[in-house]
Amino acid sequence: MEKPESPVPAVQFDTATPQPGRRRFIHKSSLLALSAALGAQIPFGRFLPDGLIPVALAASDAPVPESLAAFGKRPDLVILGDRPFVAETPAHLLDDDVTPIDKMFLRNNGLTPAPTPDPDAWVLRIDGEAVKAPREYTLKELKTRFTPVTLQIGIECGGNGRAGFHPPAKGNQWTYGGVGFPEWTGIRLADVLREVGVTDQAIYIGYEGGDRHLSGDGARPVISRGCPIAKAMEKETLLAWAMNGQPLPQAHGFPLRLIAGGVPGSVNGKWLNRIAVRNKVHDGTKMGGYDYRIACTPIAPGEVSDNYCILEAMPVKSLITFPQSGSQHAFGKEVEIRGQAWTAERSIRSVEVSYDFGQTWKTARLDKPRNRYAPTRFHIALALPQKGYYEIWARATDSSGLTQPIVAPGWNTGGYGNNQIHRIAIRTV
């Protein structure tokens, strides 16, 4: 007997063929993500049926166009690399209490994936040696099963400040702006891990995301980092789907990402589709060698050492966000100085400001951070003694008394964790 012919596979379009009067149109935020992915407006986008992938994305494996404009970023962000796409924020653009999306820095290690057309159906898998039984959740389930929280949590790339190291460290030459302070909405990772069940073997978590290797080869690994289980269980560690009240932009990990406080930015996995609870330190891509690791004991600049330890917490730091470096001010009027200060597990005890190259320091007024891991804003009005050129320096001190150094501390091969003070130049005329 002849084998019956297999049924003709349904063409993609069929499943979404519009039913007159009954079709659901695409959600505005998904539409924005799709136009970012296409690098073009979709003039009739409001008629795009929900769940239908634009043919240009579905038919080709074309990478998502990556540019400041395509990602909805301001043109005055500074591109540090375009493959992978990396852009930092000039310090004076970080003066908002909550960093707007168009000013937020961007750090990709691979290629931005095409946005999922159906975020509710996005699957997060929780597995690893130290879970009782692996489990999968759709994003819709995560949103409905657990209690959402909104927190302001800064992200700082581990390599922020790298340009200050001598001899120079290879990698993106971040100056000061690999940092931002958005507000995130999501659920606590701990709530999910408790429901799944974590054994007492748990040491670390590791993530995987939906981005692709720079070569475009889906089989090659992309970044897969993580953090100690204690950090994963902190109440400020989130599975976040919204940034500043909007669905995550594609570039920042739509539809789901990991957010933890005080860690190097690379822990905050974007396009998150898997979390493994490990019974050892996570050994994913970029967990070893000189990646996101610093010398365990101090070494001389340029020295070669194989005694490297994972950078797990970012050091105390501050930025002067107002005025803009290079600005002029009328002599005789006080100059208002503002900035942001932040640290990892501790809190900000004080921020001091100097206008005489560190000879004397004045204590700034601090605002209360909105929550743990939110930045502390500082303000001070300075009366500058005569007309001329000044440098304004700021240094933050944390609750344990650790303060920012004037020169780059702790040289390391990868150039991580530079928290030297930020300086701006101003003139009174």
Ligand X SMILES: Nc1nc2c(c(=O)[nH]1)N[C@H]1C(S)=C(S)[C@@H](COP(=O)(O)O)O[C@H]1N2
Contact positions vs Mo ion (CB under 5 A) = 107, 157, 265-266
Amino acid in position 416 = Y
CB of 15 vs ligand X, minimal distance in Å:
29
Pairing relation of β-strands 272-278 and 123-127? parallel
In the bound state with ligand X, the residue whose beta carbon lies nearer, of 271 and 308, is: 271
Among 54, 94, 103, 105, binds ligand X (CB under 6 A): 105
36 binds, among Mo ion, ligand X, none (CB under 5 to 8 A by kind): none
Given the complex with Mo ion, which of 253 and 265 has the nearer CB atom? 265
The reply on whether position 223 binds ligand X by CB under 6 A is: yes
Q: Which residues pair with 192 in a beta bridge?
A: none
How many CB atoms are located within 10 Å of the residue 258 CB?
A: 26
> Is there a cis peptide before residue 84, judged by omega within 30 degrees of 0?
yes
Which one, 89 or 266, has the nearer CB to Mo ion? 266
Tally Cβ neighbours within 10 Å of residue 299: 17
Q: How many residues bind ligand X (CB under 6 A)?
A: 20
Q: Is 110 in the site for ligand X (CB under 6 A)?
A: yes
Cα–Cα distances in angstroms (integers) from residue 58 to residues 12, 13, 18, 34, 209, in the given order: 9, 11, 18, 11, 20
What is the C-alpha to C-alpha distance for residues 189 and 272, in angstroms, rounded to an integer?
A: 12
The interface mask with ligand X, positions 266-305, x = CB under 6 A, is x-xxxx----------------------------------
Q: Which is nearer to ligand X, 162 or 252 (CB)?
A: 252
Give 80 or 104: the residue with its C-beta nearer to ligand X: 104
Closer residue to ligand X in complex, CB, 225/395: 225
Q: Which stretch binds ligand X (CB under 6 A): 4-12, 32-40, 262-270, 417-425?
A: 262-270
Is the Cα torsion angle 129, 193, 237, 137 positive or negative in sign?
positive
Q: Where are the beta strands (DSSP E) in 179-271?
A: 179-180, 183-188, 204-209, 226-228, 238-243, 246-247, 257-259
Q: Which is nearer to Mo ion, 26 or 319 (CB)?
A: 319
Minimum CB distance to Mo ion, residue 260 (Å): 13
The smaller minimum CB distance to ligand X, of residues 223 and 310, is found at: 223
From the list 102-110, 190-198, 212-220, 378-386, the region that binds ligand X by CB under 6 A is 102-110
Position among 66, 88, 118, 211 found at the interface with ligand X (CB under 6 A): 211
Q: 391: alpha, beta or left, given left = phi > 0 and alpha = psi -120 to 50?
A: beta
145, 284 contact by CB (below 8 A):
no
Asked if 193 and 232 touch (Cβ cutoff 8 Å), the reply is yes
**Near ligand X by CB under 6 A, which window of 74-82, 98-106, 335-343, 414-422?**
98-106
- Token pair recorded at residue 316: 């105390």
The binder of 209, among ligand X, Mo ion, none, by C-beta within 5 to 8 A per type, is ligand X
| Residue at 220: amino acid letter | R
CB 207 within 8 A of CB 239: no
- The identity of residue 251, as a single letter, is A
Q: How far apart are CA 125 and CA 141, in angstroms?
A: 12
Q: Rule CB under 6 A: choose which of 209, 323, 339, 375 binds ligand X.
A: 209
The Cα 90–Cα 101 span in angstroms is 14
Told to check if 263 binds ligand X by CB under 6 A, we report: no
Nearest to 249 by CA among 27, 33, 51: 33
Residue 265 binds to ligand X (criterion: CB under 6 A): yes
Q: How far is the CB of 157 from ligand X (least distance, A)?
A: 4
Q: Which partner from the list ligand X, Mo ion, none does 293 bind, CB cut-off 5 to 8 Å by kind?
A: none
Which of ligand X, Mo ion, none does 270 bind, CB closer than 5 to 8 A by kind?
Answer: ligand X
**Which one, of 380, 386, 396, 199, lies nearest residue 314 by Cα?**
396
| Least distance to ligand X, CB of residue 266, Å | 4
Compute the distance between CA of residue 93 and CA of residue 339 in angstroms, rounded to an integer: 11
Do 156 and 118 form a contact (C-beta atoms < 8 A)? Answer: no
**Contact letters for ligand X, residues 339-378 (x by CB under 6 A):** ----------------------------------------
The residue range among 108-116, 299-307, 354-362, 380-388 that interacts with ligand X, by the rule CB under 6 A, is 108-116
Q: Which span sits near ligand X by CB under 6 A: 99-107, 380-388, 404-412, 417-425?
A: 99-107
Cα dihedral 356→357→363→369 (10° resolution)? 140
Chain positions contacting ligand X, by CB under 6 A: 104-110, 155, 157, 209, 211, 222-223, 252, 265-266, 268-271
